[in-house]
Structure 1
Amino acid sequence: MTTLDPLSPAPAGEQGANIVGTGMGDGPGPDVMAAATLDGNKVMSADGEHVGKISDIMLDVRGGRIAYAVLSSGGFLGVGDTLHAIPWSALTLDTDDKCFVLDAPAERIKNSPGFDKDHWPSMADTQWGTAVHEYYNRSPYWSATRDAVREQDLDSNL
Protein backbone atom coordinates (compact mmCIF):
# COMPACT_ATOMS: atom_id res chain seq x y z
CA MET A 1 0.00 0.00 0.00
CA THR A 2 1.34 3.44 -0.93
CA THR A 3 1.08 6.03 1.82
CA LEU A 4 1.34 9.68 0.88
CA ASP A 5 2.80 12.17 3.33
CA PRO A 6 0.28 15.05 3.43
CA LEU A 7 3.13 17.52 3.98
CA SER A 8 5.16 16.53 0.94
CA PRO A 9 4.19 17.64 -2.57
CA ALA A 10 2.04 15.36 -4.68
CA PRO A 11 3.92 13.73 -7.54
CA ALA A 12 3.75 15.81 -10.73
CA GLY A 13 0.71 15.11 -12.85
CA GLU A 14 -1.47 13.99 -9.95
CA GLN A 15 -4.33 16.03 -8.60
CA GLY A 16 -2.61 18.85 -6.68
CA ALA A 17 -1.00 22.06 -7.84
CA ASN A 18 2.73 22.32 -7.31
CA ILE A 19 4.21 25.03 -5.07
CA VAL A 20 7.56 26.73 -5.69
CA GLY A 21 9.36 29.61 -4.01
CA THR A 22 10.43 30.60 -0.56
CA GLY A 23 7.33 32.63 0.30
CA MET A 24 6.38 31.00 3.57
CA GLY A 25 4.55 33.31 5.96
CA ASP A 26 2.76 33.09 9.26
CA GLY A 27 -0.70 31.58 9.29
CA PRO A 28 -2.28 29.64 6.47
CA GLY A 29 -0.52 29.06 3.20
CA PRO A 30 0.87 28.10 0.94
CA ASP A 31 -0.03 24.43 1.56
CA VAL A 32 -3.51 25.15 2.95
CA MET A 33 -5.26 28.36 1.95
CA ALA A 34 -8.73 29.84 1.68
CA ALA A 35 -9.92 29.63 -1.92
CA ALA A 36 -10.99 33.28 -1.80
CA THR A 37 -7.36 34.36 -1.28
CA LEU A 38 -6.51 32.93 -4.70
CA ASP A 39 -9.22 34.82 -6.60
CA GLY A 40 -7.66 37.56 -8.69
CA ASN A 41 -4.16 36.03 -8.64
CA LYS A 42 -2.40 36.57 -11.94
CA VAL A 43 -1.60 33.60 -14.14
CA MET A 44 1.55 33.42 -16.21
CA SER A 45 2.15 31.04 -19.11
CA ALA A 46 5.10 28.65 -19.24
CA ASP A 47 6.76 31.08 -21.66
CA GLY A 48 6.40 34.03 -19.26
CA GLU A 49 3.36 35.85 -20.64
CA HIS A 50 0.61 37.20 -18.37
CA VAL A 51 -2.47 35.33 -19.62
CA GLY A 52 -5.16 36.33 -17.12
CA LYS A 53 -6.23 35.89 -13.54
CA ILE A 54 -7.98 33.31 -11.39
CA SER A 55 -11.68 34.17 -11.18
CA ASP A 56 -12.99 31.05 -9.43
CA ILE A 57 -11.90 27.81 -7.81
CA MET A 58 -14.27 24.98 -8.70
CA LEU A 59 -14.74 22.22 -6.12
CA ASP A 60 -15.78 18.64 -6.73
CA VAL A 61 -18.13 18.66 -3.75
CA ARG A 62 -18.83 14.92 -3.70
CA GLY A 63 -15.19 13.97 -4.18
CA GLY A 64 -13.77 16.59 -1.83
CA ARG A 65 -11.20 17.87 -4.34
CA ILE A 66 -10.36 20.97 -6.29
CA ALA A 67 -11.57 20.29 -9.81
CA TYR A 68 -10.53 23.37 -11.77
CA ALA A 69 -9.32 26.90 -11.53
CA VAL A 70 -11.22 29.25 -13.81
CA LEU A 71 -8.93 31.58 -15.73
CA SER A 72 -10.39 34.90 -16.81
CA SER A 73 -8.67 36.54 -19.79
CA GLY A 74 -9.26 39.43 -22.13
CA GLY A 75 -12.04 41.92 -21.63
CA PHE A 76 -11.95 45.04 -19.52
CA LEU A 77 -13.03 45.22 -15.86
CA GLY A 78 -14.75 41.85 -16.19
CA VAL A 79 -16.72 42.81 -19.31
CA GLY A 80 -16.06 40.63 -22.35
CA ASP A 81 -13.80 38.21 -20.47
CA THR A 82 -13.29 34.72 -21.80
CA LEU A 83 -13.24 32.04 -19.13
CA HIS A 84 -11.16 28.86 -19.32
CA ALA A 85 -11.33 25.81 -17.05
CA ILE A 86 -7.80 24.84 -16.07
CA PRO A 87 -7.02 21.50 -14.43
CA TRP A 88 -5.72 22.25 -10.96
CA SER A 89 -2.73 19.96 -11.54
CA ALA A 90 -1.59 22.10 -14.51
CA LEU A 91 -0.88 25.03 -12.18
CA THR A 92 2.12 25.86 -10.04
CA LEU A 93 1.80 28.42 -7.26
CA ASP A 94 4.88 30.65 -7.29
CA THR A 95 5.08 32.12 -3.78
CA ASP A 96 7.98 34.42 -4.68
CA ASP A 97 6.21 36.13 -7.57
CA LYS A 98 2.75 35.69 -5.98
CA CYS A 99 1.21 34.20 -9.10
CA PHE A 100 0.27 30.93 -10.71
CA VAL A 101 2.25 29.52 -13.63
CA LEU A 102 0.26 27.44 -16.09
CA ASP A 103 2.21 24.62 -17.69
CA ALA A 104 1.42 25.66 -21.27
CA PRO A 105 2.63 28.31 -23.70
CA ALA A 106 0.54 31.48 -24.01
CA GLU A 107 -0.64 30.67 -27.54
CA ARG A 108 -2.02 27.28 -26.42
CA ILE A 109 -3.87 28.92 -23.52
CA LYS A 110 -5.35 31.61 -25.78
CA ASN A 111 -6.59 28.90 -28.17
CA SER A 112 -8.06 26.70 -25.44
CA PRO A 113 -11.80 26.07 -25.40
CA GLY A 114 -13.40 28.89 -23.47
CA PHE A 115 -16.81 30.03 -22.34
CA ASP A 116 -18.45 33.20 -21.11
CA LYS A 117 -19.94 34.03 -17.71
CA ASP A 118 -23.49 33.38 -18.97
CA HIS A 119 -22.78 30.01 -20.65
CA TRP A 120 -20.81 27.72 -18.34
CA PRO A 121 -20.18 24.13 -19.41
CA SER A 122 -21.41 21.23 -17.31
CA MET A 123 -18.21 20.72 -15.34
CA ALA A 124 -19.52 17.48 -13.82
CA ASP A 125 -19.70 15.95 -17.32
CA THR A 126 -16.78 13.50 -17.47
CA GLN A 127 -16.60 13.67 -21.28
CA TRP A 128 -16.15 17.46 -21.13
CA GLY A 129 -13.72 17.14 -18.21
CA THR A 130 -11.64 14.50 -19.95
CA ALA A 131 -11.30 16.75 -23.02
CA VAL A 132 -10.14 19.68 -20.85
CA HIS A 133 -7.58 17.52 -19.05
CA GLU A 134 -6.32 16.05 -22.33
CA TYR A 135 -5.92 19.57 -23.78
CA TYR A 136 -3.49 20.35 -20.95
CA ASN A 137 -1.86 16.87 -21.04
CA ARG A 138 -3.14 15.92 -17.59
CA SER A 139 -4.92 12.87 -16.25
CA PRO A 140 -8.43 13.71 -15.07
CA TYR A 141 -8.36 14.57 -11.38
CA TRP A 142 -10.98 11.94 -10.59
CA SER A 143 -8.93 9.10 -12.12
CA ALA A 144 -5.94 9.66 -9.80
CA THR A 145 -8.17 9.19 -6.76
CA ARG A 146 -10.02 6.24 -8.28
CA ASP A 147 -6.69 4.52 -9.10
CA ALA A 148 -5.41 5.12 -5.55
CA VAL A 149 -8.59 3.62 -4.08
CA ARG A 150 -8.28 0.58 -6.37
CA GLU A 151 -4.64 0.13 -5.35
CA GLN A 152 -5.63 0.41 -1.70
CA ASP A 153 -8.38 -2.19 -2.18
CA LEU A 154 -5.97 -4.56 -3.93
CA ASP A 155 -3.38 -4.16 -1.16
CA SER A 156 -5.95 -4.82 1.56
CA ASN A 157 -7.01 -8.07 -0.17
CA LEU A 158 -3.49 -9.52 -0.10
Structure 2
Amino acid sequence: MSHTTTNPSGVTETSPSSSTHGNLIAASKVSGTSVYDLNDKKVGSVDDVMIDKSSGRVAYAVLSFGGFLGIGEKYYPMPWAALKYDTRLDGFVAAIDATVLEDAPSYSAGESVDWADEAYGRRLHEYWKVAPYYGL
Protein backbone atom coordinates (compact mmCIF):
# COMPACT_ATOMS: atom_id res chain seq x y z
CA MET A 1 0.00 0.00 0.00
CA SER A 2 1.32 3.48 -0.80
CA HIS A 3 0.52 7.00 0.22
CA THR A 4 0.23 9.84 -2.30
CA THR A 5 1.00 13.45 -1.37
CA THR A 6 1.66 16.68 -3.20
CA ASN A 7 4.88 18.43 -2.21
CA PRO A 8 5.18 22.24 -1.90
CA SER A 9 6.31 22.44 -5.54
CA GLY A 10 3.05 20.86 -6.68
CA VAL A 11 4.65 17.54 -7.62
CA THR A 12 2.68 14.44 -6.68
CA GLU A 13 4.83 11.95 -4.78
CA THR A 14 4.07 8.37 -3.88
CA SER A 15 5.74 6.86 -0.83
CA PRO A 16 5.33 3.61 1.06
CA SER A 17 2.59 3.69 3.64
CA SER A 18 3.80 4.71 7.06
CA SER A 19 1.33 2.33 8.62
CA THR A 20 2.24 0.30 11.66
CA HIS A 21 -0.09 -2.59 10.88
CA GLY A 22 1.27 -6.12 10.62
CA ASN A 23 4.90 -7.00 11.29
CA LEU A 24 6.45 -3.95 9.63
CA ILE A 25 6.79 -0.37 10.84
CA ALA A 26 8.08 2.64 8.95
CA ALA A 27 11.36 3.95 10.35
CA SER A 28 9.76 7.36 10.72
CA LYS A 29 7.23 5.83 13.12
CA VAL A 30 9.82 4.12 15.37
CA SER A 31 11.26 7.37 16.70
CA GLY A 32 9.15 8.48 19.63
CA THR A 33 7.71 5.02 20.31
CA SER A 34 7.42 4.41 24.05
CA VAL A 35 9.66 1.93 25.85
CA TYR A 36 8.34 0.05 28.88
CA ASP A 37 9.95 -2.02 31.60
CA LEU A 38 8.81 -5.57 32.36
CA ASN A 39 6.09 -4.16 34.67
CA ASP A 40 4.49 -2.13 31.84
CA LYS A 41 5.81 1.15 33.27
CA LYS A 42 6.88 3.67 30.62
CA VAL A 43 10.57 4.42 31.12
CA GLY A 44 11.46 6.38 27.99
CA SER A 45 11.21 6.33 24.23
CA VAL A 46 13.10 5.43 21.09
CA ASP A 47 15.08 8.46 19.97
CA ASP A 48 16.61 6.91 16.84
CA VAL A 49 17.51 3.64 15.17
CA MET A 50 20.87 2.63 13.74
CA ILE A 51 20.71 0.53 10.57
CA ASP A 52 23.58 -1.54 9.21
CA LYS A 53 24.21 -0.10 5.73
CA SER A 54 25.43 -3.40 4.29
CA SER A 55 22.82 -5.85 5.58
CA GLY A 56 19.90 -3.46 6.03
CA ARG A 57 19.28 -4.86 9.52
CA VAL A 58 18.34 -2.61 12.39
CA ALA A 59 21.33 -2.85 14.70
CA TYR A 60 20.40 -0.63 17.62
CA ALA A 61 17.61 1.43 19.04
CA VAL A 62 18.90 4.55 20.74
CA LEU A 63 16.67 5.03 23.76
CA SER A 64 16.25 8.28 25.65
CA PHE A 65 15.53 8.42 29.36
CA GLY A 66 15.50 11.17 31.91
CA GLY A 67 16.08 14.83 31.50
CA PHE A 68 13.57 17.62 31.22
CA LEU A 69 12.91 19.38 27.92
CA GLY A 70 16.03 17.73 26.52
CA ILE A 71 18.30 18.95 29.34
CA GLY A 72 20.17 16.19 31.13
CA GLU A 73 18.77 13.53 28.85
CA LYS A 74 20.90 10.43 28.37
CA TYR A 75 20.92 8.18 25.32
CA TYR A 76 21.27 4.42 25.65
CA PRO A 77 22.08 2.35 22.57
CA MET A 78 20.39 -1.01 22.94
CA PRO A 79 20.70 -3.90 20.50
CA TRP A 80 17.45 -4.20 18.57
CA ALA A 81 17.17 -7.85 19.65
CA ALA A 82 16.79 -6.71 23.30
CA LEU A 83 13.46 -5.02 22.48
CA LYS A 84 10.16 -6.79 21.98
CA TYR A 85 7.14 -5.04 20.51
CA ASP A 86 3.98 -5.35 22.59
CA THR A 87 0.79 -4.63 20.63
CA ARG A 88 -1.17 -4.22 23.87
CA LEU A 89 1.08 -1.32 24.92
CA ASP A 90 1.71 -0.10 21.35
CA GLY A 91 5.35 0.16 22.36
CA PHE A 92 8.54 -1.74 23.03
CA VAL A 93 9.30 -3.72 26.18
CA ALA A 94 12.80 -4.30 27.51
CA ALA A 95 14.40 -5.68 30.66
CA ILE A 96 15.12 -2.20 32.01
CA ASP A 97 15.12 -0.73 35.49
CA ALA A 98 17.15 1.92 37.28
CA THR A 99 19.87 -0.51 38.30
CA VAL A 100 20.26 -1.83 34.76
CA LEU A 101 20.53 1.70 33.34
CA GLU A 102 22.97 2.85 36.01
CA ASP A 103 25.90 1.04 34.38
CA ALA A 104 24.56 0.75 30.83
CA PRO A 105 26.62 2.21 28.00
CA SER A 106 25.25 5.69 27.33
CA TYR A 107 26.12 9.12 26.05
CA SER A 108 24.87 12.68 26.47
CA ALA A 109 23.53 15.10 23.87
CA GLY A 110 26.40 16.53 21.84
CA GLU A 111 28.71 13.64 22.69
CA SER A 112 29.88 11.62 19.70
CA VAL A 113 29.79 7.83 19.47
CA ASP A 114 32.12 5.78 17.28
CA TRP A 115 29.60 3.29 15.88
CA ALA A 116 32.38 1.65 13.81
CA ASP A 117 34.35 0.73 16.96
CA GLU A 118 34.05 -3.06 17.22
CA ALA A 119 34.92 -3.05 20.93
CA TYR A 120 32.03 -0.64 21.59
CA GLY A 121 29.65 -2.91 19.69
CA ARG A 122 30.83 -5.97 21.64
CA ARG A 123 30.36 -4.07 24.90
CA LEU A 124 26.78 -3.15 23.97
CA HIS A 125 25.84 -6.71 23.09
CA GLU A 126 27.53 -8.17 26.15
CA TYR A 127 25.90 -5.66 28.46
CA TRP A 128 22.39 -6.29 27.13
CA LYS A 129 23.08 -10.06 26.90
CA VAL A 130 22.01 -10.52 23.28
CA ALA A 131 23.85 -12.00 20.32
CA PRO A 132 25.32 -9.47 17.90
CA TYR A 133 23.07 -8.70 14.93
CA TYR A 134 26.00 -9.26 12.58
CA GLY A 135 26.58 -12.78 13.86
CA LEU A 136 23.11 -14.01 12.92
Aligned-residue identity in percent: 35
Consecutive unaligned residues in structure 1, runs of 5 or more: 1-26, 145-158
Give the conservation status (yes or no) of the 8 Å contact 2:84–2:94: yes
Alpha-carbon offset, residue 130 of structure 1: 0.8
Give the Cα separation in 2 of the matches to 1:102 and 1:79: 24
Residue matched to 1:123: 115
Q: Give the TM-score taking structure 1 as reference length.
A: 0.68
Q: Cα distance 1:29–1:124, how it changes in 2: closer, same or farther (>3 A)?
A: farther
Amino acid corresponding to residue 125 of structure 2 in structure 1 = H
Range moving further from structure 2, 85-94 or 56-65: 56-65
The one-letter code matched in structure 2 to 1:97 is L
In 1, Cα distance between equivalents of 2:51 and 2:96: 22
Q: Considering only aligned residues, what root-mean-square deviation do their CA atoms show, in Å?
A: 1.6
Aligned to 2:55: 63
Match of 1:139 in 2: 131
**Residue 87 of structure 2 is aligned to residue 95 of structure 1:** yes
Q: CA deviation at 1:38?
A: 1.4
Question: Which segment is superposed worse, 96-105 or 84-93?
Answer: 96-105
TM-score (norm 2): 0.78
What is the match of residue 156 of structure 1? none
Gaps of 5+ in 2: 1-18
Instruction: Confirm or deny: 8 A CA contact 1:45 1:101 kept in the other structure.
Output: yes
Q: Which has the higher helix share?
A: 1
Structure holding more strand per residue: 2
